[in-house]
Structure 1
Amino acid sequence: MNAKYILAGLMTAGIAAWMASGSVIVAGSAQEATPRPPAERADANAAAFRVRTRKISAEDRGRTLTMRGRTRADALVNVAAETTARIAERPVERGWEVAAGDVLCELDKGVRAAQLARANAEMEKAQLEFDAATKLRGRGFESQTRVATTKAALDAAQASVAEAKEELARTTILAPISGVVQEPLGEIGATLGVGGICATILDADPIIVTGQVSERDIAAIDFGASAPVDLVTGESVTGTINYVSATADADTRTFTVELSVPNPDHALRDGVTAEAHIPLATVRAHRLSPGVLTLDDRGRIGVRTVDEENRVAFMPVKIAMQDTAGFWVTGLPDTVTIITVGQEYVIEGQTVDPVAESDDV
């Protein structure tokens, strides 16, 4: 029994000595286990959070607004008859190009020529009577009333001649504009009433590209600016902005914008889907990767930055445009240091340990 007590006492003394030494044997290796002083542990806990940063500078960046729309002809005119008559001739066919003043339809003149001849005869008679009355009045053989009566008859005869000439002229229907003849077309032998269509003329030079622009972007559109236009048919042309609506559509809150595209050979067609790439004013902007963007407590999108004293700040930004490399944003100082890694783990006013992306972490 004495030996057992002696062995237990030796083991107890050994354990106590091992604990007092501060050495720990782990897998055959010894590591220092002496705890650090409380002041040293407090300094370690108070060390600044390390973040990765990058200094960026603003660049002048041109912007482009893509407006989707369609083409339309500059004018589409239904040329109608102004009198009632049968179509005697139609010297044009659909698809033909005509110039202003070309004959589109010849209507049957009927008795119109005879009516003009009768009106001319009545005018000549009235002219003779007026001349005779005027001479007699000069000699004192005719009253002033008689002269006035013959003058009124002459005026009425002249008006009848003008009316007969106009009615006869209406039997020849002329093209009011240059363009391409389209349907509907009047057929030879058909009777046209007043307002009946003889032919339709499409004026596609210039061709108009029309589309809608949102109310957020309309202020940046410059009247008279040139813009490239891509058509779904494969053509690429250049147009000039010639119309910007002053009133928004009540339903969509968008504004109509039109571009004029020269089309002398009529190669561009009406009603084709088109995309106009309208240049906007140049802005000073920073290029950012989407990964550095974050939200503040108010839900605003922005970035966290570091100032010269290594304090964190949140700066809201506005996305001006997007390309394959990321976003271009406005709202930041010309040169600023942003946090690229760790921005989600720091708050405004916190002091951090910034490490530039070009430095070793």
Structure 2
Amino acid sequence: MKLIPVVTAILVASFLYLLIIDRDRLQAIAQIEGATETGDQSEQTEARVAGVGVVAVRSTAQEVDDAVVLRGRTEAARQVEVRAETAGRVISEPLRKGAFVETGDLLCELDPGTREIELSETKARLSEAESRVPTAQATQAEAQARLREAEINLSNAKRLSQGGYQSETSVISAEAAMEAAAAQVQSAASGLVSAQAGIDAARAAVAAAEREIDKLSIRAPFDGLLETDTAELGLLMQTGAPCATIVQLDPIKLVGFVPEVDVDKIRLGARARGRLASGPPLAGEVRFVSRSADETTRTFRVEVVVPNADLVIRDGQTAEIMIETNGTQAHLLPQSALTLDDEGRLGVRLVEGDASGPVARFAPVALLRDTAQGVLVAGLEPEAAVIVVGQEYVTDGVRVSPNFREAAQ
């Protein structure tokens, strides 16, 4: 005897018994199942009415300093190659590179040769020229006295001639004597001018000889570090030959090139920060913004001056420069709150209310910069309810059930 037909017969008999004899019990079972299905449908409807659960923050915009970020390098405040202004043999011991020198320190000294003899000769010529002046002045005074005497004699001769006491020949002789005296005065005056010119020429020669001797001592034009050794002892230097290279590193400059779309944001005196590949962060201010663009890159040179008293910053290091610009309103949000819409735009999802309840809405934002506390974004209203958890599971117009938490400070 097979088992399956027996079980089937028992089930059919039980069903017929309930349907014909115990119908009330069958109806009760059907009512219980219907009630259970109705309860499940009600719970689903209530869930749909309540909306998708999300976590949001009420964020308030704050004033933050925007910044223009540049890639640049460090540059010495001043760098010069000191060269010889005259020829001569080096007679001073060399200074080694890396040494610190102050303004006026001796770098290279040259052999004077015959320059001191030439200076003595020019001074002697000056003394001789100066001695000629008193003689020329005395000659001029004597000539002026003779001219006055001739004028008096001429006046007397004219009066006597008019009274008939002296002939016309005497008057003519007096006039000739006066003209000769006047010529002597002019000659004496020329001699005095020539003597004075001789003094000026001698003084110029003395000054040139002294200047030539001053050129023998090559000195530091400013405080700085020697980038090269000074000229070696015994080296014969020609005019224009290098003696040493000096760099001034305090203060030091951070040099960057800003594109033309951002150049109007930078102002003189603006605060700036710098960051090197190694070393502590730097702080300074903008001292120069170029008025003409580079012909190749169409960018503008910007210089930031940074103190460097301990000389730890070197010339030519790579630097990241951040220059503060005018302040702007921004929200500080968790980086995880950022999302993308269907068009690939960066933004956040907000909680906004309508007649039927709160719904989600996408709002594009502009990312200003990243901080340790979160990201600073612009483009939102001063007050905004931003979804920080669950924004990826809702779209525009979807009803949400927000749970608000405290915003980051």
TM-score (norm 1): 0.73
Whole-angstrom CA distance in 2 between matches of 1:162 and 1:34: 118
Whole-angstrom CA distance in 2 between matches of 1:86 and 1:49: 97
Q: 2:370 aligns with which of 308, 313, 322?
A: 322
- Relative to structure 1, the CA distance from residue 202 to residue 331 in structure 2 (aligned partners, 3 Å threshold; closer, same or farther) is same
Code of the aligned partner of 1:60: Q
Code of the aligned partner of 1:164: A
Code of the aligned partner of 1:330: A
More strand by share: 1
Contact residue 244 and residue 257 of structure 1 kept, 8 A: yes
Whole-angstrom CA distance in 2 between matches of 1:22 and 1:304: 52
Whole-angstrom CA distance in 2 between matches of 1:324 and 1:97: 41
What corresponds to 2:120 in structure 1? 117
What corresponds to 2:146 in structure 1? none
Q: 2:238 aligns with which of 178, 188, 193?
A: 193
Q: What are the residue-to-residue correspondences of 1:94-243 with 2, within 5 Å?
A: 94-140=97-143, 143=187, 144-212=189-257, 223-224=268-269, 231-234=276-279, 236=280, 238-243=282-287
- Relative to structure 1, the CA distance from residue 22 to residue 63 in structure 2 (aligned partners, 3 Å threshold; closer, same or farther) is farther
CA RMSD in angstroms comes to 4.2
- Relative to structure 1, the CA distance from residue 289 to residue 179 in structure 2 (aligned partners, 3 Å threshold; closer, same or farther) is closer
Whole-angstrom CA distance in 1 between matches of 2:37 and 2:312: 90
What corresponds to 1:58 in structure 2? 60
Contact residue 24 and residue 32 of structure 1 kept, 8 A: no
Deviations 1:49-98 (A, max 9, x none): 82335242225365585665444432222111101112122363333322
Whole-angstrom CA distance in 1 between matches of 2:235 and 2:128: 39
Contact residue 86 and residue 107 of structure 1 kept, 8 A: yes
Deviations 1:11-59 (A, max 9, x none): 9xx8xxx9xx99998xxx9446999xxxx99xx6xx6682335242225
What corresponds to 1:331 in structure 2? 379
TM-score (norm 2): 0.66
- Relative to structure 1, the CA distance from residue 326 to residue 180 in structure 2 (aligned partners, 3 Å threshold; closer, same or farther) is closer
Whole-angstrom CA distance in 1 between matches of 2:276 and 2:395: 50
Whole-angstrom CA distance in 2 between matches of 1:336 and 1:195: 70
Q: What are the residue-to-residue correspondences of 1:2-81 with 2, within 5 Å?
A: 30-31=33-34, 50-51=51-52, 52=54, 54-60=56-62, 62=64, 69-81=72-84
Cα deviation for residue 269 of structure 1 reads 3.6
More helix by share: 2
What corresponds to 1:8 in structure 2? none
Whole-angstrom CA distance in 2 between matches of 1:154 and 1:189: 39
- Relative to structure 1, the CA distance from residue 131 to residue 23 in structure 2 (aligned partners, 3 Å threshold; closer, same or farther) is farther
Greater CA drift, 99-108 or 295-304: 295-304
- Relative to structure 1, the CA distance from residue 115 to residue 231 in structure 2 (aligned partners, 3 Å threshold; closer, same or farther) is same
Contact residue 22 and residue 33 of structure 1 kept, 8 A: no
Which secondary structure state, in structure 2, belongs to the residue aligned with residue 92 of structure 1?
coil
Unaligned stretches of 5+ in structure 2?
1-15, 144-183
Which secondary structure state, in structure 1, belongs to the residue aligned with residue 196 of structure 2?
helix
Equivalent residues, number: 332
- Relative to structure 1, the CA distance from residue 114 to residue 215 in structure 2 (aligned partners, 3 Å threshold; closer, same or farther) is same
Contact residue 224 and residue 241 of structure 1 kept, 8 A: yes
Cα deviation for residue 286 of structure 1 reads 2.1
Whole-angstrom CA distance in 2 between matches of 1:248 and 1:344: 49
What corresponds to 1:302 in structure 2? 347
Whole-angstrom CA distance in 2 between matches of 1:258 and 1:105: 34
Cα deviation for residue 198 of structure 1 reads 1.4
What corresponds to 2:399 in structure 1? 353
What corresponds to 1:4 in structure 2? none
Q: 1:89 aligns with which of 89, 92, 108?
A: 92
- Relative to structure 1, the CA distance from residue 100 to residue 108 in structure 2 (aligned partners, 3 Å threshold; closer, same or farther) is same
Whole-angstrom CA distance in 1 between matches of 2:37 and 2:139: 148
Which secondary structure state, in structure 1, belongs to the residue aligned with residue 91 of structure 2?
strand
Greater CA drift, 207-216 or 308-317: 207-216
- Relative to structure 1, the CA distance from residue 218 to residue 121 in structure 2 (aligned partners, 3 Å threshold; closer, same or farther) is same
What corresponds to 2:304 in structure 1? 258
Which secondary structure state, in structure 2, belongs to the residue aligned with residue 155 of structure 1?
helix
Greater CA drift, 328-337 or 140-149: 140-149
Cα deviation for residue 338 of structure 1 reads 3.4
- Relative to structure 1, the CA distance from residue 165 to residue 80 in structure 2 (aligned partners, 3 Å threshold; closer, same or farther) is same
- Relative to structure 1, the CA distance from residue 180 to residue 303 in structure 2 (aligned partners, 3 Å threshold; closer, same or farther) is closer
Largest Rg, 1 or 2: 2
Whole-angstrom CA distance in 1 between matches of 2:384 and 2:283: 40
Whole-angstrom CA distance in 2 between matches of 1:314 and 1:231: 39
Deviations 1:108-156 (A, max 9, x none): 1111111111111111111122231122212216522222222222222
Deviations 1:196-253 (A, max 9, x none): 111222322233344455666666656546666555554x365322424235555274
Code of the aligned partner of 1:240: G
**What's the % identity of the aligned pairs?**
29
